């Protein structure tokens, strides 16, 4: 199914009917509205002007569109900010981040919780049973514009409270944090300060707890909205639209309260946001890297426990990246099919029509600015709609043969203590994902502790803290497992385990880490044996009683295997990572298919999809003729087989 993001409040009411009619003609089934409409719903406190939204809902519903209604809490109105300045968030330097754009609130402000609950309840009561509403979107893109963490007085008050609940006494807090170091001990929780604005780096344990606290706040805030909506809108599903490459809160925790996950896919915009090399950025500038969108499709399918939408699909140039090129012809169509191949239930484009005013007037839509005239993206969306009508039901997405254990707390921990400037968790996880996909493997994402039954190959790029639940899941799986460096290297208080890293994983891996070296760019160390390539950025020194499958140049163990549990004691370059995963896939009895760097394969039910990010053509080694597209895929083309 296809959808679109629409802002009735941006257009003369006289245009709504034609807009709705043209949406249906294009093949649009869902329309998301309302997430930024607070000042138009309540221009002054207790002065409500809902009538326009009543009429817009009726127009959309009558046209046969199913509505996703957003709660408008991402844009608190000016009258509220003036009444309650304590709502505003603070940056790390103690500066208020004020009114005039969006996301200008702190998750810790009690006033904000009260005002959010108030407006959500009013809207959910009014529209909860409207026949046109299929589902709800809470707020918009938690964490966007770096707004997960706020560093103000409200955050300090809430953080102290969170610590009281977590550590029954300051003795326990001082002990857990190792506060004796540099005389950082406190005699009361009211002496705790935010881990910022310090002379040199603050205590890593304090930073990790503050990050956990900030993440918990997002999950608790969203749960508050979800519970209110559920009360007044029975039978409607609830989602939140997550972003790409935002890891500063645990999305799995927010997903636990949602019926499905959704995310905002701007494949080309993200090429600039991710630490790619300049060569990669230039190569993928007008198509995106073949794994950027799929990485998130698979991650958010996991966050949504098997269900996800693309709530905002890039339809053309965006406005917020350093450079914003026009996508190569065919890419909006390719990205749509790719999302569907990865299990998306709906792909909804952002936005129906390019706004001729305000911050996003340079952001494409399905229609040209202010007009009833298709953009290139609009025409491609129409083409997909026709093709989808021909293919019919795409079937359910099955469990992938491989899973990545994805851990937000490991991102926080390595951000707090990189030890090597270029040790980036998000990049490591992405490169492991890329390597699995280059072997033609479909991949699921699971949180630490989730059962690993049914997977043949489990990749754990870096799991710094290994909880009891995570250890149990790893002990109980019969998959072949590969742990990456730094796994098990800290306990939950950010302390080095007494038995040395990999801590709780020592038994499973047979390893013991005695030294580690972070390598500056240009310094690398060869690895040879069952896998070969080079260690870059990070190299560990292990003692092991496991089988050594590959060694560093000086003979030290680089890749170890004890039963099904393998450990890679470095940040691998592409060659080493690929050969390691190929070796493990073989041990797992999984058939791999080496695909070129610009090609990807994805299975959904009895369909096999192939995507060519180009420019080179490629002939798919898949039996029979495709039901869509050509066996020899041209650049930016898609092919689908029913097998
Ligand atoms: C995000 C937001 C949208 C819009 C787009 C622009 O996804 O959710 O409101 O700002 O970015 O790309």
C-alpha triplet 346, 347, 349: angle, nearest 5°: 140
Q: Is 432 in the pocket of ligand 1 (CB under 6 A)?
A: no
Answer positive or negative: Cα dihedral of 300, 303, 308, 314.
negative
Residue 213 lies in a domain: no
Omega before 158 cis (within 30°)?
Answer: no
Residue 560, pLDDT score = 99
Q: Is 633:610 a contact under the CB 8 Å cutoff?
A: yes
Contact predicate 305/343, CB 8 Å? no
From 363, 391, 419, give the residue that closes a domain.
Answer: 391
List the beta bridge partners of residue 563: none
Question: What are the φ and ψ backbone dihedral angles of 161, each rounded to 5 degrees?
Answer: -65, -45
**Alpha carbon of 529 to ligand 1 centroid (Å):** 48
Tell me, yes or no, whether 232 lies in a domain. Answer: no
| Structural domain contains residue 178 | no
- Residue 85 neighbours by CB under 8 Å, 6+ apart: 96
Instruction: Output the CA 268–ligand 1 centroid distance in Å.
Output: 13
In a domain, 329, yes or no: yes
The CATH number of the domain holding residue 60 is 3.20.20.80
Residues of the chain with pLDDT under 50: none
Q: Which two tokens stand for residue 404?
A: 């990545």
218: in domain:
no
Whose alpha carbon is nearest atom 9 of ligand 1? 140
Gap from CA of 70 to ligand 1 centroid (Å): 13
Report the atom number in ligand 1 closest to the C-alpha of 320. Answer: 12
pLDDT for residue 425: 98
Number of domains in the chain: 3
Q: How far is the CA of 410 from the centre of ligand 1 (A)?
A: 27
Q: Spell out the alpha helix ranges (H) of 330-375.
A: 331-341
Active site residue ranges = 141, 312
Q: Assess whether 356 and 410 both reside in one domain.
A: no
DSSP 8-state secondary structure symbol assigned to residue 374:
B
Q: How far apart are CA 347 and CA 28, in angstroms?
A: 10
* Whole-number CA gyration radius for the chain: 25
Q: Give, for ligand 1, the residue of 267, 360, 365, 366 to mutate: max count of ligand atoms closer than 8 Å to Cβ.
A: 360
How far away, in angstroms, is 299 Cα from ligand 1 center? 19
Return the CATH number at 570: 3.40.50.880
The tokens of 260 are what?
């499905």
Ligand 1 center to 141 CA (angstroms):
8
Task: Say if residues 582 and 595 touch (Cβ distance below 8 Å).
Answer: no
234 preceded by a cis bond (ω within 30 of 0): no
Residue 211's closest CA among 8, 528, 219?
Answer: 219
Residue 386 lies in a domain: yes
C-beta of 266 in contact with ligand 1 (< 6 A):
yes
- Do 350 and 478 lie in one domain? The reply is no
Ligand 1 near 140 CB (within 6 A): yes
CA 536 to chain centroid, in Å, comes to 26
Q: Do 12 and 143 reside in the same domain of the chain?
A: yes
Residue 141 in contact with ligand 1 by CB distance below 6 A: yes
**CB of 470 closer than 8 Å to CB of 488:** no
- Distance between CA 313 and CA 30 in Å, rounded? 13
Name the strand (E) or helix (H) holding 116. Answer: helix 110-127
pLDDT tens digits, one per residue of 19-66? 999 999 999 999 999 999 999 999 999 999 999 999 999 999 999 999
Determine the pLDDT at residue 145.
97
Please give the C-alpha separations between residue 446 and each of 9, 460, 462, 476, 487, in angstroms, as whole numbers.
39, 10, 13, 15, 16
Distance of CA 157 to the CA centre of its chain: 29
For residue 429, what are the domain limits?
402-587
What tokens does 129 get?
A: 């049973």
- Sheet holding 237-239: strands in order across? 237-239, 133-137, 66-70, 28-33, 2-5, 347-349, 308-313, 261-265, 241-242
- Look at residues 108, 174, 113 and name the one whose alpha carbon lies nearest to residue 147: 108
Say what the pLDDT of residue 142 is: 98
| pLDDT in the model for residue 32 | 99
If asked whether residues 329 and 470 sit together in one domain, one would say no
Residue 28: inside a domain, yes or no? yes
Q: 551 with 518, same domain? A: yes
Same domain, 286 and 379: yes
pLDDT (0 to 100) of residue 77: 98
For ligand 1, is residue 312 a contact (CB within 6 Å)? Answer: yes
Q: What is the CATH number of the domain that holds 605?
A: 2.60.40.1180
Q: What is the pLDDT of residue 174?
A: 98
For ligand 1, pick from 9, 140, 312 the residue to mutate: most ligand atoms within 8 Å of CB: 312
- Distance, in Å, from the CA atom of 4 to the CA atom of 513, rounded to the nearest integer, reads 52
Q: Is the CB of 350 under 6 A from ligand 1?
A: yes
- The CA–CA distances, whole Å, from 261 to 7, 162, 237, 479, 584 equal 22, 27, 10, 27, 31
**Domain termination site, one of 343, 370, 391:** 391
What is the residue whose two structure tokens read 């608790």? Answer: 220
- Residue located nearest, by CA, to atom 5 of ligand 1: 350
Pocket test for ligand 1, best of 102, 141, 315, 359 (most atoms within 8 A of CB): 141
Cis-peptide, bond into residue 615, ω within 30° of zero: yes
In a domain, 532, yes or no: yes
């Amino acid at each position: 199914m296809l959808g679109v993001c629409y802002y009735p409040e941006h257009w003369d009411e006289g245009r709504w009917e034609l807009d709705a009619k043209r949406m249906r003609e294009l093949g649009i089934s869902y329309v998301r509205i309302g997430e930024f409409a607070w000042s138009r719903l309540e221009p002054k406190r207790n002065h409500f002007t809902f009538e326009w939204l009543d009429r817009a809902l009726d127009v959309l519903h009558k046209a046969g569109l199913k509505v996703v209604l957003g709660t408008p809490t991402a844009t608190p109105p000016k009258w509220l900010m003036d009444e309650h300045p304590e709502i505003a968030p603070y940056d790390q330097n103690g500066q208020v981040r004020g009114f005039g754009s969006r996301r200008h609130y702190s998750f810790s402000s009690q006033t904000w919780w009260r005002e959010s609950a108030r407006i959500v309840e009013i809207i959910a009561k009014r529209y909860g049973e409207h026949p046109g509403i299929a589902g709800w979107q809470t707020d918009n893109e938690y964490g966007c514009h770096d707004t997960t963490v706020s560093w103000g007085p409200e955050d300090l008050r809430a953080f102290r409270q969170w610590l009281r609940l977590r550590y029954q006494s300051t003795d326990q807090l001082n002990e857990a944090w190792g506060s004796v170091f540099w005389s950082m001990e406190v005699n009361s929780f009211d002496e705790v300060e935010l881990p910022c604005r310090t002379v040199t780096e603050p205590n890593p344990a304090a930073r990790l707890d503050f990050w956990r606290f900030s993440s918990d706040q997002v999950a608790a805030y969203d749960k508050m909205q979800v519970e209110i909506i559920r009360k007044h809108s029975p039978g409607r599903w609830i989602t939140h639209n997550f972003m790409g490459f935002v890891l500063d809160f645990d999305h799995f925790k927010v997903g636990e309260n949602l019926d499905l996950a959704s995310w905002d896919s701007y494949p080309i915009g993200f090429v600039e946001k991710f630490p790619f090399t300049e060569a990669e950025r230039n190569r993928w500038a007008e198509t995106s890297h073949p794994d950027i969108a799929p990485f998130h499709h698979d991650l958010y399918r996991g966050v949504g426990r098997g269900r996800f939408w693309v709530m905002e699909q890039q339809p053309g140039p965006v406005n917020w990246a350093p450079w914003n090129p026009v996508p190569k012809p065919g890419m909006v169509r390719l990205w749509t099919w790719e999302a569907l191949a990865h299990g998306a239930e709906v792909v909804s484009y952002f936005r129906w029509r390019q706004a001729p005013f305000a911050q996003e007037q340079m952001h494409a839509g399905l229609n040209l600015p202010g007009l009833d005239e298709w953009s290139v993206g609009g025409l491609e969306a129409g083409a997909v709609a026709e093709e989808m009508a021909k293919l019919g039901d795409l079937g359910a997405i099955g469990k992938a043969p491989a899973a990545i254990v994805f851990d937000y707390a490991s991102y926080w921990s390595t951000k707090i203590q990189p030890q090597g400037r270029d040790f980036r968790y998000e990049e490591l996880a992405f490169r492991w994902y890329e390597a699995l996909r280059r072997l033609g493997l479909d991949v699921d994402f699971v949180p630490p502790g989730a059962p690993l039954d049914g997977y043949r190959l489990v990749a754990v790029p870096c799991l710094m803290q290994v909880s009891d639940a995570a250890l149990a899941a790893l002990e109980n799986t019969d998959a072949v497992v590969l742990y990456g460096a730094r796994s098990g290297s800290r306990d939950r208080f950010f302390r080095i385990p007494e038995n040395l890293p990999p801590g709780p994983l020592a038994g499973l891996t047979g390893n013991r880490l005695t030294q580690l070296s972070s390598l500056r760019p240009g310094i690398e160390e060869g690895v040879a044996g069952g896998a070969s390539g080079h260690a870059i950025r990070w190299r560990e020194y292990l003692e092991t009683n496991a089988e050594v499958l590959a060694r560093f140049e000086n003979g030290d163990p680089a890749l170890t295997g004890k039963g099904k549990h393998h450990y890679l004691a470095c940040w691998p370059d592409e060659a080493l990572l690929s050969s390691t995963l190929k070796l493990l896939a073989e041990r797992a009895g999984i058939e791999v298919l080496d695909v070129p760097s610009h090609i990807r394969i994805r299975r959904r039910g009895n369909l096999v999809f192939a995507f060519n990010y180009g420019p080179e053509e490629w002939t798919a080694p898949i039996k029979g003729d495709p039901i869509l597209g050509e066996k020899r895929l041209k650049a930016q083309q898609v092919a689908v087989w029913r097998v």
